[in-house]
Amino acid sequence: MQGYQPPIADYRFLLGEVLGFESAMSELGQETDLDLAMAVLDEAGRFCADILQPISREGDEVGSRIVDGAVVTPPGYSDAYRSFAEGGWAALSASPDHGGQGLPFILQLWFDEMMSAANLSFGLFPGLTRGACEAIAAHASDELKAIWLEPMVTGEWTGAMALTESGAGTDLALLKTKAEPNGDGSFAVTGTKIFISSGDHDFGCNIVHLVLARLPDAPSGVKGISLFLVPKFLPDSEGGFTVRNTMSVGALEKKMGIHAQPTCVMNYDGATGWLVGEPHRGLAAMFTMMNAERLMVGIQGLGIAGGAYQQAVGYARERLQGRSADGARGPVPILEHADVRRMLLQIRAFVESGRALAGWTALQMDRARQHPDASVRAEADAVVALLTPVVKAGFTDFGFESAVHAQQVFGGHGYIREWGMEQFVRDARIAQIYEGTNGVQAMDLVSRKLTLGGGSVVAGFLDMVEADLAAAQAHPHAEQVARQTGAALQILRDTTASLQGADIDAAGSAAVDYLRMFSLVAMGWMWARMAAAAGSGSEQHMAKLAVARYFAERMLPQVDALAKAIGSGPEAVAQLALEAF
Amino acid sequence: MQGYQPPIADYRFLLGEVLGFESAMSELGQETDLDLAMAVLDEAGRFCADILQPISREGDEVGSRIVDGAVVTPPGYSDAYRSFAEGGWAALSASPDHGGQGLPFILQLWFDEMMSAANLSFGLFPGLTRGACEAIAAHASDELKAIWLEPMVTGEWTGAMALTESGAGTDLALLKTKAEPNGDGSFAVTGTKIFISSGDHDFGCNIVHLVLARLPDAPSGVKGISLFLVPKFLPDSEGGFTVRNTMSVGALEKKMGIHAQPTCVMNYDGATGWLVGEPHRGLAAMFTMMNAERLMVGIQGLGIAGGAYQQAVGYARERLQGRSADGARGPVPILEHADVRRMLLQIRAFVESGRALAGWTALQMDRARQHPDASVRAEADAVVALLTPVVKAGFTDFGFESAVHAQQVFGGHGYIREWGMEQFVRDARIAQIYEGTNGVQAMDLVSRKLTLGGGSVVAGFLDMVEADLAAAQAHPHAEQVARQTGAALQILRDTTASLQGADIDAAGSAAVDYLRMFSLVAMGWMWARMAAAAGSGSEQHMAKLAVARYFAERMLPQVDALAKAIGSGPEAVAQLALEAF
């Protein structure tokens, strides 16, 4: 495989010319300027290219294994993790209150993009730790925070989220793990959890599990679930953490992909833990974790698409086959064949607009946390909530499709493991499933997010997009994509109105198509903004305009078909009798 | 995994009520009636369910390996192959002139569907043998046929196709393998071939390779390629086949899927072979093989989709999660959730129309071979040529997407190997790549097939579809799908006209979208015919009407978007400079 090339020039374009990064920072009183941001991204990109990508292929082949009851990660992972933590990469965007560097979240999210492009399995270790930190910071007592938070934020320790049980995945009401008071403020947690990413490893540090369980007096259903902090190593009497908790890895899941990532079956045998947040309010704490994770998972789709694109372009330049379109030259690089370019453009039109949308969303997250005006914070928070399922599901669907396209460029070699392309496909597939399947995300968007603020959140978002598109139309080079996206936006508005307050069957039959429509319009919005900024005639700007055109002419038309499918109503999904499936 | 359920009731519906099987047979003077056909399918289905499916999962885990220079297939494969050959399954549709049973090709194709659903890796052994038999029957001398054909037709021996080299895949002009005359009518073949399915195995029989190579005086390019029959075992002086030829397995490819299938790197070291057909005309002989294989590969996509559908429905009935739409009951089988049904319907709408279209095409193949009227034979042959890329690429694209949908129904469990769903996805992926990538198929459709007979072949086909749709509209229960498909057909006609004679860049930029549009219209055509036949009110008929509606309302609208994308012209694919990718 070729080395990974971090998309530094594109980041600079987005920060400097599209997203108004510096003014957004100054609005928040943040000191990070463009140069600092680029320096961080540059260094982060180098870490991904030099340390993470070179161990990814072997990580897939060797996989994480269990040796003597403990997880052994593939060659290089433990060292890479040490470099990661020592380099300060774990704490990039975390609050300085907890040992973080307090850098803008956009740098975190794009670092996540590069990590996912270089090594998805690795990225899950810090990614899940971050989610766990968010939940602890938001819900745990000061006493717990004082002990556990900083070593997790700095990456000295890692975190894991233990939610799923074999009979309880999407529907957590069914979970059975119990927590009984020990009488000293701690609890004894007992149960078996499955699909626990980073549940154990050999990085030589503590692992803090956040475990959903039921208290003895818990009501049934989701209103009886509490969250517990259950560490692999408990505090000893000397201030160290050397006492092995009664929890163990029962097995590693044998998976389609992300082989280097130890996805554990975890047994908690009266393991000592502490309640995080209120009793029976574990779900709220869990959603704090989940929302952070969901954005990150969306970015995984984006990262894989970008990484796979680079490999496919490299191959398409080197692989000689067939003749030039005029028949005069041959064999020519397959990049000259229109269908190969089409596959590559299909990926790139997603990657660059997705990268922009991720950046825009990250800036809103910083506003939601740091803006001096509470109403601005609330507004930004709401728009992030609206976009979270779009990013999670939209990006991972397009990300998987992108990996498949990139693999296809390789022809038969794409199917052979050593070329690395089929690994992208296998790894990308999980992102459509975990942290809430994409069907669940789509239902979240339609049933919950469209009615936020009585519908005012989505209306406000669409108004803003419309205004941006109108502004972009004033630029001749952006006119086409802005106008065509504007037409798609009207369709999205009508479809949105038709689904607000829809019953559960109507919502469920439309949700996935609707989320895809929403994603396409959001991508078009970003293409219009990028095209508006790309009028200089530089090579980079010319390329933006060419890909914007591809998006407008070849991808955006899907919106029409989705509208027609949704517009036909839910009956087509309901008509076949259950027993006739 | 659940056992495989052969779709016997659907076959009966198609033969008896939709495709006019008995009249088609009597037109050809064939004796096979509905009862005999169903008896064959029933028995064939049992073979797939009882013998082939149970060894598929372990076959994936263990894979084919090389031991002491020879391939060892996974447990059960050798026995299964022996049962297969001894049961007469290899010779189903082959001509009695060569030891075949002469049964209608539709039975062969549907048997292929069931084999692919049960065990894709296994199905390739007989599938490739059949392709090799076709080439030998059509192009080899009577002398060669007398020795090699019958043992291959009966399955006593197997066949393999050795085309690809590491620098020559889609573009065979680049291939380098040489064949030099030995002076006794045989040739010494020297070179290395890659991606050779069934190149070696441990079934204890001869393996007849058809190898593309260049003669010493060969012109360069594709016009200098000849085809050679190169067997693993050469004839000895006593009429046996015991002399080991100088060919060997260099390695097995490590692949994304079809692990049980030994995909070989083959070294031919002056291996003895015989010329099949004329010198330098190997490509024509190869296309004889390839066309037969391409239909079969399309059917693989269909088979996997059907097999994955069954597993997903079974899981969706058993997995309890969430509440009923009215909130009254819970947990309920996830089949009750609209989005789960949508995913399943998406698969089924393809599978049942694809099965019908495969059947229709198979009947045309019998007409092309056996009809007493030469002009009917030519017409049928041309329509099969037209539909071959549609079946190969359309079915394998929908097949892969179907496997992904079925996996998604399983949530997290879909990603875990033991559940078997991710194997469907990994196995299905190859069918989009081999026997000519789907991009190559699409170019074949647009550049070659649309201009067959000066465009009269596609025009004739579309006229026939239009007439069928008009007839179906007379049935109230088929009116909707027939009318909507009729509208899509007009779009297809216009798009077809716009692409006939398009230059290579215009064709290449449109081809994949166009093939998908063609596939959707062909599926709609079959849904209209099935709906027209499904007016009895029986459960089976009601189900057909429900799925027909789903197809018309939820899938067919894609045609609009594809037309819009193609209609925008080739510029969007051409605009980005090659160096800017």
Q: Kindly list the residues from chain B whose CB atom is less than 8 angstroms away from the CB atom of residue A349.
A: none
DSSP B470-531: HHHHTSGGGHHHHHHHHHHHHHHHHHHHHHTT--HHHHHHHHHHHHHHHHHHHHHHHHHHHH
DSSP B443-459: HIIIIIGGGGGGGHHHH
CA distance B377 to B396: 28
- The backbone region for B159, taken as left when phi is positive above 0, alpha when psi lies in -120 to 50, beta otherwise, is beta
With beta carbons less than 8 A apart as the criterion, state whether A515 and A509 touch. no
With beta carbons less than 8 A apart as the criterion, state whether A245 and A271 touch. yes
pLDDT digits (tens, 9 = 90+) for B220-260: 988 999 999 999 999 999 999 999 999 999 999 999 999 99
Specify the 3-state DSSP secondary structure of B242.
strand
Kindly give the pairing relationship between strand A263-276 and strand B263-276. unpaired
Q: Who among B417, B430, B543 is closest to A576 (CB)?
A: B543
Average pLDDT, whole number, for chain B? 96
CA distance A247 to A191: 10
Report yes or no: A412 at the B interface, CB cutoff 8 Å: yes
Q: Is the pLDDT of residue B407 over 90?
A: yes
CB neighbour list of residue B146: distance below 8 Å, 6 or more residues apart = none
Specify the 3-state DSSP secondary structure of B562.
helix
With beta carbons less than 8 A apart as the criterion, state whether A281 and A226 touch. yes
The Cβ-side half-sphere exposure at B113, using a 13 Å CA radius, reads 29
Question: From start to end of B150-292, where are the E strands?
Answer: 158-162, 178-181, 187-197, 207-213, 226-231, 233-235, 241-244, 247-252, 263-276
Give the chain A residue nearest B335 (alpha carbons): A578
A8-131 is a CATH 3.20.20.140 domain: no
CA distance B387 to B295: 9
Residue B579 falls in the annotated catalytic set: no
pLDDT digits (tens, 9 = 90+) for B266-295: 999 999 999 999 999 998 888 888 887 899
Catalytic residue of the set A113, A435, A466, A553: A435
Token duo for residue A174: 């069914």
Q: Closest Cα of chain B to A256: distance in Å?
A: 6
Q: Is the pLDDT of residue B312 over 90?
A: yes
If you classify domain B8-139 with CATH, what class do you get?
A: mainly alpha
Q: Which residues 310-369 of A are in CB contact (within 8 Å) with B?
A: 313, 316-317, 320-322, 325, 330-331, 335-345, 348
pLDDT digits (tens, 9 = 90+) for B440-449: 999 999 999 9
Q: Do A509 and B342 touch (CB under 8 A)?
A: yes
With beta carbons less than 8 A apart as the criterion, state whether A211 and A178 touch. no
Q: Do B170 and A580 touch (CB under 8 A)?
A: no
Question: Amino acid letter at A90?
Answer: A
Q: Closest Cα of chain B to A184: distance in Å?
A: 36
CB atoms within 10 A of CB B165: 18
Give the pLDDT score at A170: 77
How is domain A142-283 classified at the architecture level of CATH?
Answer: Beta Barrel (2.40)
Q: Do A171 and B581 touch (CB under 8 A)?
A: no
What single-letter DSSP state applies at residue A416? B
Q: Where are the domains of chain B?
A: 8-139, 158-281, 450-581
Q: Which residue has the higher pLDDT, B245 or A168?
A: B245
Give the pLDDT score at B257: 98
Q: Is the pLDDT of residue A67 over 80?
A: yes
- The backbone region for B569, taken as left when phi is positive above 0, alpha when psi lies in -120 to 50, beta otherwise, is left
Comparing CA positions, the residue from A177, A99, A562 lying closest to residue B342 is A562
pLDDT digits (tens, 9 = 90+) for A97-117: 999 999 999 999 999 999 999
pLDDT digits (tens, 9 = 90+) for B53-62: 999 999 999 9
Burial of B236 (0-12, 13-18, 19+ CB in 10 A): exposed
CA distance A12 to A115: 18
Q: Kindly list the residues from chain A whose CB atom is less than 8 angstroms away from the CB atom of residue B415.
A: 253, 255-257, 429-430, 433-434
Give the pLDDT score at A163: 93
Give the pLDDT score at B48: 98
How far is CA B164 from each of CA A384, B217, B225, B228, rounded to the nearest angstrom? Answer: 51, 21, 12, 14
Specify the 3-state DSSP secondary structure of A363.
helix
Q: Closest Cα of chain B to A405: distance in Å?
A: 11
Q: Kindly list the residues from chain A whose CB atom is less than 8 angstroms away from the CB atom of residue B339.
A: 439, 442-443, 508-509, 511-512
Q: What is the mean pLDDT of residues B35-56?
A: 98
Give the pLDDT score at A517: 98
Confidence bin at A66 (pLDDT 50/70/90): very high
Q: What is the mean pLDDT of residues A320-328?
A: 93
Average pLDDT, whole number, for chain A? 96
CA distance A260 to B418: 18
Q: Do A558 and B560 touch (CB under 8 A)?
A: no
What ipTM did this prediction achieve? 0.97
With beta carbons less than 8 A apart as the criterion, state whether A112 and A127 touch. yes
What single-letter DSSP state applies at residue B393? I
Peptide bond into B331 cis (omega under 30): yes
Q: What is the mean pLDDT of residues A32-41?
A: 98
Phi, psi of B203 (to 5 degrees): -85, 0
The terminus-to-terminus CA distance of chain B in angstroms comes to: 44
Q: At what angle do helices A558-567 and B558-567 cross, to 10 degrees?
A: 160
Catalytic residue of the set B113, B180, B435, B579: B435
Token duo for residue A474: 């004033």
Q: What is the mean pLDDT of residues A312-337?
A: 95
Q: Is the pLDDT of residue A152 over 80?
A: yes
Fold type of domain B158-281: Butyryl-CoA Dehydrogenase, subunit A; domain 2 (2.40.110)
